[in-house]
Amino acid sequence: MPIIKTNCFILRGIKYKESSKIVTAYSQDYGKLSLLARGARRIKSKLGSGLDLFSYSEIIFYKRENREIYTVSNAEVIDPYSSIKNDMDKFNVASCISELIISLTPREHENEYIFDLLRKAFAYLDSAVEFDPQLLSIIFGFKLAVLLGYKPMLHSCVVCKNKTSTQNLYFSPSSGGIVCPDCTAEVRDRVKIDVDDVKYMEAFMGRTFESLGELRLSSVIKKKLGHLINRLLIEGSEKERNFCARYWV
């Protein structure tokens, strides 16, 4: 029974029996993991705060074959991200991010880019002073879409492949990008967008959280972009459910 040590973000904790909990974590070496923490809810638990929600921790667990849940034997906090735990807006954004990672990444599939995105998002969120929670959730959604392989095509029509103009633009989540006016009948869904929406989507995918921190958008634009990223992730992952209902639906 190999003993494994890895760093991870704690994304969800569910009470289990009288004093234990089952934790979903995203780890550096194994991607998404389900972990059983025996006695973790006891005051004197040696697991301490290492498995608290949104902590970044080094954990040790036993990896048994043919099991879906592994038992944690030790957890040490590397960064508690206290500010995320103590601020309602930050907590809600981190919950949205966790929901996306838990819903959209496969179990035990290492992905250094997703791990890195999570690290950057939590670090930014923890230190942010003034930020727009809804916008930050949308930015994270677009960045994650790229890493999951759902990056939208933004400069040519997804149907005819011709370069699109700056007018009469539509976005088709099911087809994964922009549709020109001549091809709208060819796609199952479409949302009217404008050239600024395209610029925002590009910026969300290409720029850092820090450089986007000052950006402020109207509630109408955020609603539209939130709808687009929700639909893009639903169509890309073929899941029949909405994501981040607090911000996007």
Q: Which is nearer to Zn ion, 160 or 245 (CB)?
A: 160
At residue 224, φ and ψ (nearest 5 deg) are -65, -45
Q: What does DSSP say about strands 69-79 and 31-37: parallel, antiparallel, or unpaired?
A: parallel
- How many Cα atoms are found within 13 Å in the side-chain-facing hemisphere of 240? 0
Piece of 64-72, 93-101, 150-158, 229-237 that binds Zn ion (CB under 5 A): 150-158
Contact between 33 and Zn ion by CB under 5 A: the answer reads: no
Rounded CA separation 110/92 (Å): 26
| CA angle at 232 for the pair 228 and 233, rounded to the nearest 5° | 120
- How many Cα atoms are found within 13 Å in the side-chain-facing hemisphere of 63? 11
Piece of 35-43, 55-63, 176-184, 208-216 that binds Zn ion (CB under 5 A): 176-184
Contact between 158 and Zn ion by CB under 5 A: the answer reads: no
Piece of 111-119, 139-147, 174-182, 197-205 that binds Zn ion (CB under 5 A): 174-182
Contact between 154 and Zn ion by CB under 5 A: the answer reads: no
Nearest to 178 by CA among 197, 205, 106: 197
Contact between 157 and Zn ion by CB under 5 A: the answer reads: yes
Q: Are 159 and 180 in contact (CB under 8 A)?
A: yes
Rounded CA separation 166/196 (Å): 9
Piece of 27-35, 71-79, 154-162, 166-174 that binds Zn ion (CB under 5 A): 154-162
Nearest to 97 by CA among 132, 34, 36, 143: 143
Contact between 40 and Zn ion by CB under 5 A: the answer reads: no
- Closest distance of CB 178 from Zn ion, Å: 9
Give the footprint of Zn ion on residues 62-101 (CB under 5 A): none
What would the two tokens of residue 228 be? 């687009």
Considering only 180, 198, 229, 232, the residue that binds Zn ion (CB under 5 A) is 180
Contact between 183 and Zn ion by CB under 5 A: the answer reads: yes
Considering only 93, 121, 138, 159, the residue that binds Zn ion (CB under 5 A) is 159
- Closest distance of CB 184 from Zn ion, Å: 8
Binding footprint of Zn ion on the chain (CB under 5 A): 157, 159-160, 180, 183
